[in-house]
């Protein structure tokens, strides 16, 4: 899921061209109720091009709180760069993901000009950033997740080793919420003959672990 991907900083090699996070260290990963809270020390927008436009005079933009706030995802870096992500299911194997990015005006600077830039110019810069960096970057994640999805559909009954504690925590919460849903709906689907019909539960032939196909701002 792209929800896991945006919180798992162990796949920096995939994004080596853009380098959106560098020198990352996971300081905390804690499940509290329906939330998985994370604390990272990581240099955000570490790529050479992005770094030229980030004003690190006030703070280094390297202290990130991220949260899988089921079913949403958000992050906050030094109160200067934030994102909110929600998922729109399309069918049993595809989702559409909608990102909203917030960047404080004080977090942006223009090389040779500095941090105080006119609103219209900042707006243009953010628009350009979407097409130059964000869309291609998220496209890399979508490409990989599609391959993962295909692999899982073909070998769904084989062990899938996962070394990231973040991904494991996200998947545990997702599975728990799915099981809660089945339990809640089970009484409604009991039939007179004692059989239970589960509502659109995943089957061996049609697994439901979904991979994103689109990422839109």
Q: Report DSSP letters for 177-215, one per residue.
A: HHHHHHHHHHHHHB-TTS-B--SS---SSS----EEEEE
Q: Tokens 């990231």 correspond to what residue?
A: 164
- The minimum distance between CB 184 and Fe ion, in angstroms, equals 33
Residue nearest to Fe ion (CB): 141
- The minimum distance between CB 3 and Fe ion, in angstroms, equals 11
- The minimum distance between CB 144 and Fe ion, in angstroms, equals 8
Instruction: Tell me whether residue 22 or residue 115 sits nearer to Fe ion (CB atom).
Output: 22
- Which of 4, 62, 78, 141 binds Fe ion (CB under 5 A)? It is 141
Judged by CB under 5 A, the stretch of 23-31, 94-102, 116-124, 137-145 that binds Fe ion is 137-145
Q: What is the DSSP letter of 14?
A: G
Residues in the chain: 217
Residue 148 near residue 160 (C-beta atoms within 8 A): no
Instruction: Tell me whether residue 162 or residue 180 sits nearer to Fe ion (CB atom).
Output: 162
State how far the Cα of 30 lies from the Cα of 37, in Å rounded to an integer.
Answer: 5
Instruction: Tell me whether residue 3 or residue 108 sits nearer to Fe ion (CB atom).
Output: 3
- The minimum distance between CB 66 and Fe ion, in angstroms, equals 13
Residue 87 near residue 80 (C-beta atoms within 8 A): no
Residues that bind Fe ion (CB under 5 A): 5, 141
């Amino acid at each position: 899921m792209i929800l896991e991907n945006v919180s798992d900083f162990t796949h920096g090699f995939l994004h080596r061209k853009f380098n959106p996070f560098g020198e990352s260290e996971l300081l905390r990963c804690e499940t509290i109720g329906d939330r998985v809270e994370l604390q990272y020390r990581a240099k955000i927008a570490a790529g050479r091009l992005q770094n030229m436009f980030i004003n690190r005079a006030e703070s280094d933009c390297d202290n990130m709180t991220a949260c899988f706030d089921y079913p949403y995802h958000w992050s906050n870096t030094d109160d200067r760069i934030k994102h909110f992500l929600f998922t729109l299911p399309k069918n049993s194997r595809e989702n559409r993901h909608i990102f909203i990015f917030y960047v404080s005006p004080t977090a942006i600077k223009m090389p040779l000009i500095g941090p105080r830039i006119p609103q219209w110019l900042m707006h243009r810069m953010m628009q350009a950033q979407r097409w130059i960096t964000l869309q291609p970057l998220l496209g890399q994640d979508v490409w990989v997740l599609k391959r993962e999805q295909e692999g899982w559909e073909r070998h769904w009954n084989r062990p899938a080793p996962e070394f990231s504690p973040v991904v494991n925590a996200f998947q545990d919460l997702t599975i728990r919420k799915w099981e809660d849903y089945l339990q809640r709906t089970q009484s409604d689907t009991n039939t007179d003959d004692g059989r239970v019909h589960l509502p659109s539960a995943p089957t061996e032939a049609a697994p439901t672990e979904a991979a994103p196909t689109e990422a839109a701002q």
